[in-house]
Chain A
Amino acid sequence: RKEVEQDPGPFNVPEGATVAFNCTYSNSASQSFFWYRQDCRKEPKLLMSVYSSGNEDGRFTAQLNRASQYISLLIRDSKLSDSATYLCVVISNTGGFKTIFGAGTRLFVKA
């Protein structure tokens, strides 16, 4: 089992749709969680941190469920420009620093 798992997709949605991605992690001692966005052949860019209480940034909402060991990303009112790969990132510092990236979920938003 991979330490961080994401549904690779692709998710194909029309503009204006709401779409949700989940990411599960295996290390219960993980401390920090993030969502990154990566456009084709570009570097990953930080989309948002994920806080225990959940957090929202405009059309994006991130949630953390420690009991079930997953994080989620909800995108409302999808735009064409949201088309990208979304990477889940889990960081732990128990027994050595570890940053684990999920393999990513592809999103295509169509007109």
Chain B
Amino acid sequence: DAEITQSPRHKITETGRQVTLACHQTWNHNNMFWYRQDLGHGLRLIHYSYGVQDTNKGEVSDGYSVSRSNTEDLPLTLESAASSQTSVYFCASSEITASGRNEQFFGPGTRLTVL
């Protein structure tokens, strides 16, 4: 069955280190997204991609980067981890339907702690 996976599921790192979170989907969706979820906030969009070699900044992109070298993967990199980036990170993918709808399907999440 098609699915979307994230790794690692849990990560503890130190301030200043570079961290990369992986996201892999087998839906063959063109669109992929990264969100973070914190208490008191809804999910907030970090970066998104409409296809290979396409990346775009979301609402909270500072300190994060993504690259899209193939359809299946959208890794998220924290260039220099900060304690404010402690959060749960969700990856999602979608395909625009014929009616123009954009229903996103989520991976299981990565819980990141920055000490």
Contact = CB atoms under 8 A, between A and B. Distances in A.
A32 interface: yes
Interface residues of B, number: 22
A87 B41 CA distance: 11
Interface string B36-66: 0000111111001000000010010000000
A103 B42 contact: yes
A32 B44 CA distance: 17
Contact of A103 (B40, B59, B105): B40
Given A31-B100, A44-B90, A49-B101, A101 B106 contact: no
A97 B48 contact: yes
A34 B106 CA distance: 14
Interface of A: 4, 31-32, 34, 42-46, 49, 87, 91, 96-104
Interface of B: 33, 35, 40-45, 48, 56, 59, 90, 100-109
30 contacts: A4-B42, A32-B100, A32-B101, A32-B102, A34-B103, A42-B108, A42-B109, A43-B90, A43-B106, A43-B107, A43-B108, A44-B43, A44-B90, A44-B106, A45-B106, A46-B104, A46-B105, A49-B101, A49-B103, A87-B42, A97-B56, A98-B45, A99-B33, A99-B45, A99-B102, A100-B42, A101-B43, A102-B42, A103-B40, A104-B42
